[in-house]
Amino acid sequence: RLQLPVKLSFAITINKSQGQTLNLVGLNLEQPMFTHAQLYVGCSRVGISNNLYTLSPQTDIKNIVYQEALQ
């Protein structure tokens, strides 16, 4: 019989993380963020900056802003 170690993990959306403080945060930025606030909330939920990890295929992170919504 082969046993594999399994580590329990949780995932929440950026919107659901508002108002929470998390020990470890990983952000998947493979798809662009919808607003500046989503990126801010995702980065600001971690208590220690060394516990913030991001996954991005590029060095530049695109932030989508729909100009029509701002008019």
Give me the residue spans of the domains in the chain: 24-70
pLDDT tier for residue 41 given thresholds of 50, 70 and 90: confident
Is 70 exceeded by the pLDDT of residue 6?
A: yes
Report the DSSP beta bridge partners of residue 26.
Answer: 53
Is 80 exceeded by the pLDDT of residue 61?
A: no
Mean pLDDT (whole number) for 18-31: 81
Q: Rounded to whole angstroms, how far apart are CA atoms 66 and 35? A: 9
Q: Rounded to whole angstroms, how far apart are CA atoms 65 and 71? A: 12
This prediction's pTM: 0.57
Confidence (pLDDT) at 63: 65
